Amino acid sequence: MNSSKDQYPRLVIDLNKLRENLAALTGRCQDLLIEISPVVKGANALREVVRVMEEFSPRYLCTSRLDQARRMKAEGIQTPLMMIRIPGPAEVPEMVALCDASLNSDLSLLRAINEEAGRQGKTHAVILMQDLGDLREGFWHAEELIQAALEVENNLPHLHLLGIGTNLSCYGSIKPDKRNMQGLASLAQEVEEAIGRPLEIVSGGASTSVYMVLEGSMPYRINHLRLGEIILNGTSGTGNPDFLHQDVFTLQAQVSECREKPSHPVGQLGLDAFGKPRVYQDRGIRRRAIVNVGRVDYGDPEDISPRQPGVEVLGASSDHTLLDVADYPGELKAGDILEFGLSYGSTAFLCSSPSVHISYLS
Ligand SMILES: *Cc1c(COP(=O)(O)O)cnc(C)c1O
The answer on 329 and 207 residing in a single domain is no
Considering only CA atoms, which residue is closest to atom 3 of ligand 1?
206
Kindly state the average pLDDT of the residues 153-163.
Answer: 98
Question: What pLDDT, on the 0 to 100 scale, is given for residue 243?
Answer: 97
Task: Name the helix (H) or strand (E) containing 41.
Answer: none
What does the pLDDT average to over 324-349?
96
DSSP secondary structure code for residue 86 in this structure: P
Quick one: 271 and 349 in the same domain? yes
The reply to whether 40 falls in a domain is yes
SS3 25: helix
Are residues 48 and 128 both part of a single domain?
Answer: yes
Same domain, 199 and 278: no
Average pLDDT for 12-23: 98
Domain boundary at 182, 201, 232, which?
A: 232
User: Phi, psi (5° rounding) for residue 134?
Assistant: -80, -15
User: Is residue 142 located within the same domain as residue 202?
Assistant: yes
Give the pLDDT confidence score for residue 149 in this predicted structure: 98
Shared domain for 48 and 187, answered yes or no, is yes
Q: Given this model, what pLDDT does residue 4 score?
A: 61
Whether 338 and 304 have beta carbons less than 8 Å apart is answered as no
**Could you tell me the distance, in angstroms and rounded to a whole number, from the CA of residue 164 to the centre of ligand 1?**
15
Distance CA(340)–CA(355), nearest Å, equals 17
What pLDDT does 114 receive?
98
CB 221 within 8 A of CB 181: no
Count of domains forming the chain: 2
Kindly give the distance from the C-alpha atom of residue 63 to the centroid of ligand 1, in angstroms, as a whole number. Answer: 9
**In ligand 1, which atom is closest to the CA atom of 232?**
8
Range of the domain at 52: 32-232
Of residues 347, 349, 331, 337, the one with CA closest to residue 253: 337
Q: Does residue 318 form part of some domain?
A: yes
CATH number, domain of 338, equals 2.40.37.10
pLDDT of residue 276: 87
% helix, strand, coil for the chain, step of 5:
35, 25, 45
Q: What is the dihedral of CA 330, 333, 339, 344, to 10 degrees?
A: 130
* Residue 206 Cα: closest atom of ligand 1: 9
Judge contact between 183 and 132, C-beta under 8 A.
yes
> What is the per-residue pLDDT across 284-319, written as a single tens digit (0 to 9) for each?
999 999 999 999 999 999 999 999 999 999 999 999
Nearest ligand 1 atom to alpha carbon 136: 13
24 in a structural domain: no
Summarised one tens digit per residue, pLDDT across range 211-231 is: 999 999 999 999 999 999 999
C-alpha 233 to ligand 1 mean position (Å): 13
Give the separation between CA 244 and CA 277, rounded to whole angstroms. Answer: 39
Quick one: pLDDT at residue 117?
98
Would 67 be classed as within a structural domain? yes
As a whole number, mean pLDDT of residues 89-97 equals: 97
Task: Say if residue 119 is exposed, middle or buried (CB neighbours under 10 Å; 0-12, 13-18, 19+).
Answer: exposed
Kindly report the length of the chain. 362
* pLDDT tens track for 236-271: 999 999 999 999 999 999 999 999 999 999 998 888
| Residue 7 within any structural domain of the chain | no
Query: What is the overall mean pLDDT for the chain?
Result: 95
**Pocket of ligand 1, beta carbon within 6 A:** 39, 41-42, 64, 84, 103, 167, 206-207, 226-230
- Of 36, 39, 41, 103, the one to substitute when testing ligand 1's pocket (max ligand atoms within 8 A of C-beta) is 39
Same domain, yes or no, for 167 and 194?
yes
Instruction: Please say if the pLDDT value at position 60 is more than 60.
Output: yes
> Is the domain of 314 the same as that of 339?
yes
Residues 86, 162, single domain; the answer is yes
Give the model's pLDDT for residue 274. Answer: 84
Ligand 1 mean position, distance from CA 170 (Å): 9
Regarding whether 323 and 215 lie in a shared domain, the answer is no
* Annotated catalytic residue within 5, 41, 178, 333: 41
Kindly state whether residues 45 and 158 are assigned to the same domain: yes
Q: What pLDDT is recorded for position 202?
A: 98
How far away, in angstroms, is 205 Cα from ligand 1 center? 7
List, as one string, the DSSP characters of 131-183.
Answer: --SS-SSSBSSHHHHHHHHHHHHHH-TTEEEEEEE---SSSS-PPP-HHHHHH
Closest CA to 276 of 298, 250, 257, 300: 300
Respond yes or no: is residue 17 known to be catalytic. Answer: no
Q: Supply the pLDDT for residue 134.
A: 87
- Distance separating alpha carbons of residues 347 and 251, to the nearest angstrom: 9
Per-residue pLDDT, 61 = 98
Domain with residue 226: its CATH number is: 3.20.20.10
Residues 286 and 227 in one domain: no
